[in-house]
Chains A and B, each alone.
Chain A
């Protein structure tokens, strides 16, 4: 699937700035209009009945329940963790979410509150959200999060370096963070697609992150608009699909920011299903980074279950 070197030779791609550049710029271009049209068409799929219930529950399992505010406190994180364990206290059959996502200083609180639940604690790191810090600082950020018990690290790439063409620098930074994760934490690489501006860049950044060892590629910090959009999701899903075809290595995609309705979540699952493939429809390979999405999923699930439309007051706000 990969054009520049043969798939077996992917390992040499990042041996120099120029070979990395040749590889990334040798990837097929993305026609924006065509990509948007394809994503829009998939968004018209009509998911009903049992397939909808399954999708709603799977979407709940795929959520990284997130709070990334200056006003975050241990109390807020504990409340979120409780919600993560039991999203719908009135219905014990509701599955837990995948992870709680917080700033490094609150990792300890989250880990403690989630102990025994199977819900992961993810921490943003590397001078989130801008990534504007020295590499050493970023690595300390990561190390502290891991030391506090985070088993998932959501790093940001250096968009400035990417946009100015210092691709190897971006690559090596991801490699360094991956090393810092030391096998104890999964690495999600935030591309901040809203700042990359073109789908060609999204594709290149996706491959760059995958080549550097990112376990997930993630759209956004949630601090930049636009965040996750259907065509961006499409291109990133194509990247993990093609990467798997080239290397046999299955990596994940996380969409973060802007996904608030259950309807959109189900549509994105259609995208996952028909672009990357059914293989990706698990929390190990697909995540939603969200906060308010969860309650809408719960509400829609209840509607499907009871046959009556529900209301927001029946779901907890944390």
Chain B
């Protein structure tokens, strides 16, 4: 990050991203982030339960506007995210390489995949209703149709290993369908997530649609799992030993729970399929009589 024979670099401060703003943790805490070899990189904000609470409030506030946006508009916004990501590839590649211990070339490939993943999801926005919904042939004089509708506020415990591609693969499917997200980043590899937040903040995505919390997953997850105004939770990056506790807490308001993949993080480079998107979509069925 600093070149010894050049000018002293200006370091970036990695903050939280809540409601479209970049606050420090209300707790004033931060924690040291190291690279894959254990060398200090920076201090990241260590979010508290109150930050999590604020993030949920921001996500709830953003939900009506985001869900009311046309699917075309959501698709455009997601595509815009990919465009802005493309322009900042170098930074992401550097952060991924440092955090995941990848070669520059591998890290670059991961960034490419991440950008392409955004594009893939962007294209889904206005096709979900056709693929997941449709007209239902009921036995009577009624027009009956089903449409997928966003679940609401989704807490995402991002994968711990794949700090960019994995992150994108769990966040994009939440927001493409109209839900809003509170993301707890990979605990030890939070930097791509914070940078992604900066991309989101400059990509037409309304504030609050994605909120990013860095810090201790095990500390934040129970508050989100038990939060009565969170509608769904993705346990992908939750430590193994608290999965059951989180699910139990999630049951208090019948949260939709997306369990962590069996056998650890999946191959994020594989085409994702519909599953993650449909996990945050509710089928709404509307009946109306047909008569004169």
Q: Which residues of A contact B (CB under 8 A)?
A: 31-34, 36, 197-199
Asked if B23 CB lies within 8 Å of chain A CBs, one says no
B140 (CB) vs chain A CBs: closest residue = A33
Per DSSP, are chain A's interface residues mostly helix, strand or loop, or mixed? Answer: helix
Per DSSP, are chain B's interface residues mostly helix, strand or loop, or mixed? Answer: loop
- For A198, the chain B residues whose CB sits under 8 A away are 292
Between B140, B141, B291, the greatest number of chain A beta carbons within 10 A of the residue's beta carbon is seen for: B291
4 A-B pairs with least C-beta separation: A32-B291, A33-B289, A33-B291, A33-B141
- For A34, the chain B residues whose CB sits under 8 A away are 289
B291 (CB) vs chain A CBs: closest residue = A32
A200 (CB) vs chain B CBs: closest residue = B292
- Cβ–Cβ contact A31 & B292, under 8 A: no
Asked if B10 CB lies within 8 Å of chain A CBs, one says no
- For A36, the chain B residues whose CB sits under 8 A away are 291
Min distance, Cβ B44 to any Cβ of chain A, angstroms:
60
A32 (CB) vs chain B CBs: closest residue = B291
In chain B, positions 229-279 with a C-beta closer than 8 Å to chain A are none
CA distance A32 to B140 in the complex (A): 13
- For B142, the chain A residues whose CB sits under 8 A away are 33
Extra contacts besides A33-B140, A33-B142, A33-B290 (6): CB < 8 Å: A32-B289, A32-B291, A32-B292, A33-B289, A36-B291, A199-B292
CA distance A126 to B292 in the complex (A): 30
- For A197, the chain B residues whose CB sits under 8 A away are 292
CA distance A31 to B291 in the complex (A): 7
- For B292, the chain A residues whose CB sits under 8 A away are 32, 197-199
- For B291, the chain A residues whose CB sits under 8 A away are 31-33, 36
In chain B, positions 138-156 with a C-beta closer than 8 Å to chain A are 140-142
Over the window 112-149 of chain B, the binary record of Cβ atoms lying under 8 Å from chain A Cβ atoms (1 yes, 0 no) is 00000000000000000000000000001110000000
CA distance A33 to B292 in the complex (A): 9
Can you give 8 contacting A-B residue pairs, CB < 8 Å?
Answer: A31-B289, A32-B291, A32-B292, A33-B141, A33-B142, A33-B291, A34-B289, A199-B292
CA distance A36 to B289 in the complex (A): 11
- For B141, the chain A residues whose CB sits under 8 A away are 33
